[in-house]
Amino acid sequence: MSETPTTDITTHAMAITPEDLPAAEGFFKPHRIVLLAIAAGLVFCIVWFMRWDWIPQYLPRLGYGIMITLAMLFSTSILGFLLAVPLGLVQVTGPWPLKALAKGFCTVVRGTPLLLQLWLLYYGLGSLFPQFPAIRQSFLWPYLRESWPYGVAALTISFAAYEGEVMRGAFAGVPAGEIEAARAYGMSRWTLFRRIWLPRAIHRALPTLTGETVLQLKATPLVATITVIDVYAVISKVRQDTYITYEPLLLLALIYMCLTGILVIAFRTLENRIPTRGA
Amino acid sequence: MADPISFLNWSLLALEPPGWGGVLLRGLMNSIEIAIGGYTFGLLLGIGGACGKLYGGPITRDLMECYTTIVRAVPELVLILLLYYAGTDALNYVLGLVGIGQVDISGLVAGIFVIGVVQGAYTTEVLRGAIKAVPAGQIEAARAYGMSPYKVMTRVTLPAMLPYAIPGLSNLWLIATKDTALLAVVGFSELTLVTRQAAGSTKAYLLFFCAAGVLYLMLTLVSDLIIRIIERRARRGFVEQS
Residue B16: per-residue pLDDT = 67
Best of B39, B66, B78 to disrupt the A interface by mutation (most A CBs within 10 Å)? B78
Q: How many domains does chain A have?
A: 1
Chain A, residues 101-130, CB within 8 A of chain B, namely: 107-108, 110-117, 119-120, 123-128
Mention every residue, 6+ apart, whose C-beta is less than 8 A from residue A135: A129, A141, A144
Q: What is the pLDDT of residues A58-108, one digit of tens each?
A: 899 999 999 999 999 999 999 999 999 999 999 988 888 999 999 999 999
Residue B211 lies in a domain: yes
Which chain A positions have a beta carbon within 8 Å of B182's beta carbon? 113, 115
Residue A263 lies in a domain: yes
Region A242-266 average pLDDT: 90
- CA dihedral of residues B207, B212, B214, B220 (deg, nearest 10): -170
Residue A36: per-residue pLDDT = 87
**Phi/psi at B66 (nearest 5 deg)?**
-60, -45
Residue A74: per-residue pLDDT = 94
Residue B212 lies in a domain: yes
Residue B6 lies in a domain: no
Which chain A positions have a beta carbon within 8 Å of B89's beta carbon? 245
Residue A1: per-residue pLDDT = 36
Residue A262: per-residue pLDDT = 93
Best of A72, A112, A212, A247 to disrupt the B interface by mutation (most B CBs within 10 Å)? A112
Residue A260: per-residue pLDDT = 92
Residue A30 lies in a domain: no
Nearest CA in chain B to A218: B75
For B203: left if phi > 0, alpha if psi spans -120 to 50, otherwise beta; the answer is left
Whether B172 and A13 lie within 8 Å, measured CB to CB? yes
Helical ranges in chain A per DSSP H: 3-14, 30-49, 55-93, 96-111, 114-119, 126-128, 133-137, 141-144, 148-173, 176-184, 189-192, 198-219, 231-242, 246-273
Is A213 an interface residue toward B (CB < 8 Å)?
Answer: no
Write the CATH number for A81.
1.10.3720.10
Residue B42 lies in a domain: yes
Whether A9 and B78 lie within 8 Å, measured CB to CB? no
pLDDT at A279 over 50: no
Percent of chain A surpassing pLDDT 70: 96
Residue B198 lies in a domain: yes
Residue B2 lies in a domain: no
Q: What is the pLDDT of residues A102-159, one digit of tens each?
A: 999 999 999 999 999 999 999 888 888 878 777 777 777 877 888 889 999 999 999 9
Residue B163 lies in a domain: yes
Write the CATH number for B161.
1.10.3720.10
Q: What is the pLDDT of residues B115-146, one digit of tens each?
A: 999 999 999 999 998 998 888 899 899 999 99
Is B31 an interface residue toward A (CB < 8 Å)?
Answer: no
With vertex at residue B145, the alpha carbon angle to CA B144 and CA B147, rounded to the nearest 5 degrees, is 100
Residue A52 lies in a domain: no
Which chain A positions have a beta carbon within 8 Å of B59's beta carbon? 31, 35
Is B209 an interface residue toward A (CB < 8 Å)?
Answer: yes
Nearest CA-CA distance, residue A252 and chain B, Å: 8
Residue A245 lies in a domain: yes
Whether A112 and B179 lie within 8 Å, measured CB to CB? no
Nearest CA-CA distance, residue A258 and chain B, Å: 9
Residues of chain B with pLDDT under 70: 1-18, 101-103, 239-242
Can you say how many angstroms the Cα of residue B108 is from the centroid of all Cα atoms in its chain? 13
Q: Domain range spanning residue B108?
A: 15-234
Classify burial at A137, counting beta carbons within 10 Å of its beta carbon; exposed 0-12, middle 13-18, buried 19 or more.
exposed
Which chain B positions have a beta carbon within 8 Å of A113's beta carbon? 178-182, 192, 216
With vertex at residue B106, the alpha carbon angle to CA B102 and CA B111, rounded to the nearest 5 degrees, is 125
Nearest CA-CA distance, residue B146 and chain A, Å: 32
Q: Domain range spanning residue A246?
A: 3-22+60-273
Nearest CA-CA distance, residue B167 and chain A, Å: 6
Say which of A6, A15, A128 has its CB closest to residue B72.
A15
Residue B41: per-residue pLDDT = 95
Which chain B positions have a beta carbon within 8 Å of A128's beta carbon? 2, 7, 205-206
Nearest CA in chain A to B164: A6
Residue B9 lies in a domain: no
User: Concatenated DSSP letters for B139-181?
Assistant: HHHHHHTT--HHHIIIIIIHHHHHHHHHHHHHHHHHHHHHHGG
Residue A279 lies in a domain: no
Residue A84: per-residue pLDDT = 93
Mention every residue, 6+ apart, whose C-beta is less than 8 A from residue B114: B38, B79, B80, B83, B84, B87, B183
Is A266 an interface residue toward B (CB < 8 Å)?
Answer: no
Residue B106: per-residue pLDDT = 77
Q: Which carries the bigger pLDDT value, residue B236 or residue A40?
A: A40
d(C-alpha B4, C-alpha B7), whole Å: 5
Is B4 an interface residue toward A (CB < 8 Å)?
Answer: no
Establish whether this prediction's ipTM goes over 0.90.
no
Percent of chain A surpassing pLDDT 90: 44
Residue A44 lies in a domain: no
